[in-house]
Amino acid sequence: MKTLIIILLFSASIIQAQTLVLSTGVEKTVANTESQFMMGYQSKKQRSIGTFYQNNVNRFISENNPKQSYWYGVFTALPIAKSEKISVYAMLRAGLMDEQFVVIVPSLETKIKVSKWLAVGVASSYRQGYPAFSFKTQFSLFNQSTL
Amino acid sequence: MKTRIVILSLSAIMLFTACEPEADLYRNFHLKEGEHFASPRLVESLQSSRLAFYAKFDESCRYIFEETSFQDCKNKLLGFSDCNNMHHENSARFTWQWFNNQMEIYAYCYVNGERIEKFIGVVELEKENRYEIELTPDAYLFKLNDQESVSITRSATCTKGMYYMLWPYFGGTLPAPHDMHLSIKIIY
């Protein structure tokens, strides 16, 4: 966890961040449903970098793997199509599952800007060999354009 | 604006709570005559210390080599390489062979480059069987259906890293003598 904080602070200094973004949501994979928390910085060009944490939602833990699974790591996202209200991003998450397994997940995210501070996003990704889908809400803090 | 938020929220609720029939997660693998690798060829990494799956061999998986000395070559079913290791260094897999007119299942590991094989059991063609490899700090535990686990000592490798999955492969030395089909469903 310390490493993640250091990476985050380091990233902030090198990308001259414009906006601190926090997001929370859920991701449905072939195995279970996970809650998702992300924190990162978004540049003027809408490039993002940050950290994330995800864990199983208890109700959906598999009988075959009856333990609380979690993973955390870093993410980066680049816009591949932008407009004032809707943007599409290519995202890559890389992290450590259950403190043991390195996992790398590519995804495609569509984000809809609801207000200056709030956006909602849906994403599809490739997890455990199958498509996974997520929904999240994102809050922009310290948005320079609003200061 | 409020309407949009309500629509998005309802869509999200439907997406994550809707009831639907369980998807068929069986993957069908095809071993073509003259080839070693099964298709489709997949890239995945292990994400749990237990790899459990169902597998089913069909009648096409019977084979007889003219050169009988190759009949006991192990064909790979499913497994994984150990932490940041290539699979010929440290890995654990289930293997199969058509031998003595029956389908035999083996545990098949590389431990520090040394190959270790242990007989696990016999399965019937066209029937679904449950396979499981549990990764413990010092051993690979292989389990077929409700049988007792077969243990193979694991080398002390790293504890954090990439464990890539190893998919069906025919051989051994010789490629598939004819087309074969098998199905695998990983249990998540």
**Which structural domains are found in chain A, ordered by start?**
2-146 (2.40.160.20)
Residue A147 pLDDT grade (very low, low, confident, very high; cuts 50, 70, 90): very low
Give the span between the Cα atoms of B67 and A18, in whole angstroms: 70
Looking at the domain covering B24-187, what would its CATH class be? mainly beta
Average pLDDT over residues A69-81: 94
Q: Which residues contact A36 (CB under 8 A, 6 or more apart)?
A: A23, A24, A25, A26, A27, A52, A53, A54, A134, A136
Answer yes or no: do A133 and B162 touch at CB < 8 A.
Answer: no
Helices (runs of H) and strands (runs of E) counted in chain B:
1, 11
Which run of H or of E encompasses A14?
Answer: helix A2-15
Answer yes or no: do A101 and B16 touch at CB < 8 A.
Answer: no
Would you state the pLDDT for residue A146?
39
Which of B83, B159, B188 lies at the smallest CB-CB distance from A65?
B188
Answer yes or no: do B188 and A114 touch at CB < 8 A.
Answer: no
Which of B8, B42, B160 lies at the smallest CB-CB distance from A100?
B160
What is the ipTM for the molecules in this complex? 0.81
Using the Cα atoms of residue A44, residue A48, residue A50 and residue A56 in order, give the sign of their dihedral: positive
Would you list the domain boundaries of chain B?
24-187
Q: What is the nearest CA distance from A71 to chain B, expressed in angstroms? A: 10
Q: Which residues contact A17 (CB under 8 A, 6 or more apart)?
A: A11, A41, A42, A43
Would you state the pLDDT for residue B13?
64
Answer yes or no: do B8 and A128 touch at CB < 8 A.
Answer: no
Residue A142 pLDDT grade (very low, low, confident, very high; cuts 50, 70, 90): confident
Would you state the pLDDT for residue A113?
93
Give the span between the Cα atoms of A52 and A70, in whole angstroms: 11
Average pLDDT over residues A119-134: 93
Is it the case that residue A16 has pLDDT exceeding 60?
no
> Is A7 at the interface with chain B, CB within 8 A?
no
Q: Chain A contacts of B18, Cβ < 8 Å?
A: none
Residues B110-159: tens digit of each pLDDT: 999 999 999 999 999 999 999 999 999 999 999 999 999 999 999 977 88
Average pLDDT over residues A131-137: 95
What Cα–Cα distance (Å) separates residue B11 from each residue in A88, A125, B17?
19, 18, 10
Answer yes or no: do B8 and A99 touch at CB < 8 A.
Answer: no
For residue B161, whether the previous peptide bond is cis, meaning omega lies within 30 degrees of 0, is no
Residue A78 pLDDT grade (very low, low, confident, very high; cuts 50, 70, 90): very high
Would you state the pLDDT for residue A96?
95
The first and second tokens of residue B45, run together, are 């990494």
Residue A121 pLDDT grade (very low, low, confident, very high; cuts 50, 70, 90): very high
Q: Chain B contacts of A55, Cβ < 8 Å?
A: none
The first and second tokens of residue B28, run together, are 């069908």
Q: Chain A contacts of B161, Cβ < 8 Å?
A: 101-102
Q: Chain A contacts of B1, Cβ < 8 Å?
A: 114-115
Q: Chain B contacts of A97, Cβ < 8 Å?
A: 47-48
Q: Which of A57-61, B15-19, B40-44 has the highest mean pLDDT?
A: B40-44
Answer yes or no: do A115 and B1 touch at CB < 8 A.
Answer: yes
Answer yes or no: do A104 and B45 touch at CB < 8 A.
Answer: yes
